[in-house]
C-alpha cells in the first residue's frame, strides 16, 4: 500500500505525515476477521480523526465519517468503506481511493508498484503530492 502525503483543507494544500494506520492484531480481527491490516483514507480529514478516535476506544459507537473514504489492505484481501461498519471486498487485484485513483489504478494495471503508481498520480493530479510513503502488510 502506498499514499501521497497531501491534504487540502479550506483550499490550502498541506503535508500530512501519513494517511495510513497499521491495525493491531485485535483491531484487525475485530474489523476484518484477520491478523494483519493497513487502513488508509482519502477525503475529509475530520472523518480520519474520528476513525482514529474510535480505534483508540474514545467512542464505543462507530462514528459517521462524513464523506471520508477508507481502503484496507488485509491478509484476506482489499476492502473499501465509507462507513466503518460496512466494508466491501474489492475483487480486483488493484484498487485506490482519492482524487488520483484513476491514474494510480491504471499505472498498477500497467505493471507499476503501488509506490510508482502514486508517483504517476502525483504528476497528473493537482490535488495529490507532497511525497509518497510505502507500507508493507
Contact 12, 42 (CB under 8 A): no
- Where is average pLDDT lowest: 40-44, 59-63, 69-73, 133-137? 59-63
The domain spans of the chain are 2-127
Write out pLDDT tens, residues 9-55.
778 899 999 899 999 999 999 999 999 999 999 998 889 989 989 99
Number of Cβ within 10 Å of residue 68's Cβ equals 23
Contact 55, 48 (CB under 8 A): no
Does residue 60 surpass a pLDDT of 90? no
H helix or E strand, kind and range, residue 89: strand 86-90
Write out pLDDT tens, residues 75-120.
999 999 999 989 999 999 999 999 999 999 999 999 999 999 999 9
Class of domain 2-127: alpha beta
pTM for this one? Answer: 0.93
Amino acid at each position: 500500500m502506498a499514499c501521497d502525503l497531501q491534504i487540502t483543507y479550506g483550499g490550502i494544500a498541506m503535508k500530512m505525515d501519513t494517511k495510513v494506520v497499521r491495525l493491531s492484531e485485535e483491531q484487525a480481527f475485530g474489523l476484518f476477521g484477520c491478523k494483519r491490516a493497513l487502513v488508509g483514507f482519502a477525503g475529509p480529514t475530520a472523518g480520519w480523526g474520528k476513525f482514529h478516535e474510535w480505534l483508540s476506544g474514545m467512542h464505543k459507537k462507530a462514528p459517521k465519517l462524513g464523506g471520508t473514504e477508507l481502503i484496507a489492505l488485509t491478509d484476506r484481501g482489499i476492502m473499501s468503506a465509507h462507513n466503518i461498519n460496512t466494508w466491501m471486498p474489492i475483487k480486483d487485484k488493484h484498487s485506490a481511493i482519492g482524487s488520483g485513483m484513476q491514474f494510480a489504478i491504471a499505472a498498477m494495471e500497467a505493471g507499476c508498484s503501488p509506490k510508482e503508481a502514486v508517483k504517476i498520480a502525483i504528476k497528473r493530479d493537482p490535488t495529490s503530492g507532497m511525497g509518497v510513503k510505502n507500507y508493507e502488510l
